[in-house]
Chain A
Amino acid sequence: KNQVEQSPQSLIILEGKNCTLQCNYTVSPFSNLRWYKQDTGRGPVSLTIMTFSENTKSNGRYTATLDADTKQSSLHITASQLSDSASYICVVSAKQAGTALIFGKGTTLSVSS
């Protein structure tokens, strides 16, 4: 069964600190993996999209890594800011006809001052 699991479910960190969010998937065959940021009451915003051949992708202070062999991805946030407080959602696309994207349930990050 195609699944995406994220950990931790929630996280609280101090402003300025770094953090890493995890995503494990069992989706097969794999096409691409995405990380989204969703602020409360708003639609998700794409942070990165990685295909099978990409190991790392950065978007400002956000760096995503992908290990297609172990089917794991991480999202590293550097020097966190209060505006980073949001839900971070990992999404995996399977390479098959008429596929749907499979969403993780997200990690809720709270950055405090």
Chain B
Amino acid sequence: KAGVTQTPRYLIKTRGQQVTLSCSPISGHRSVSWYQQTPGQGLQFLFEYFSETQRNKGNFPGRFSGRQFSNSRSEMNVSTLELGDSALYLCASSWGGSDYNEQFFGPGTRLTVL
């Protein structure tokens, strides 16, 4: 069974640009969650999608958005990039909601904002 895949793996952008990251969950998983990981803050929850609906949202500004498609694939978008958005962005999938079910993480997308 293929694991969670994320594309691209590395990305370099400049301030003010926007970026879209993609996540393909494990086949059969309906929940996809997104996280930001930085050395200072650790892992922080961005949002979770379940069956194309946003189930929960973390404490991030509106520049961070996401969506989930009917095949459970998910994208997250960050608009008007800031230097502080440089981070590892991880997505995780689970069969059911992330609060009760084991999550499987992808390798992450390393975003650098210059």
Interface contact A89-B102, CB-CB below 8 Å: no
Contact B102 A46 (CB under 8 A): yes
Q: What residues of chain B lie closer than 8 Å to A34, measured between beta carbons?
A: 102
Of listed A43, A101, A105, residue having the most chain B CB within 10 A: A43
- Contacts of A42 on B, CB cut-off 8 Å? 107-108
- The residues in A between 38 and 55 inclusive whose CB is less than 8 angstroms from any CB of B are 41-46, 49
For A, the interface residue count at a CB cutoff of 8 angstroms equals 22
Instruction: Name the B residues within 8 Å of A101 (CB-CB).
Output: 33, 45, 98-99
Contact stretch, chosen from A63-71, A74-82, A92-100: A92-100
Chain B residues, CB < 8 A from A89: 42-43
Report whether A44 and B105 are in contact in the complex, using a CB–CB cutoff of 8 Å: yes
Q: Are A46 and B56 in contact (CB under 8 A)?
A: no
Q: Which residues of B contact A (CB under 8 A)?
A: 4, 33, 35, 41-45, 48, 55-58, 90, 92, 98-100, 102-108
Beyond A43-B90, A43-B106, A93-B99, 6 additional contacts (C-beta under 8 Å) are A34-B102, A41-B107, A43-B92, A43-B107, A100-B45, A101-B99
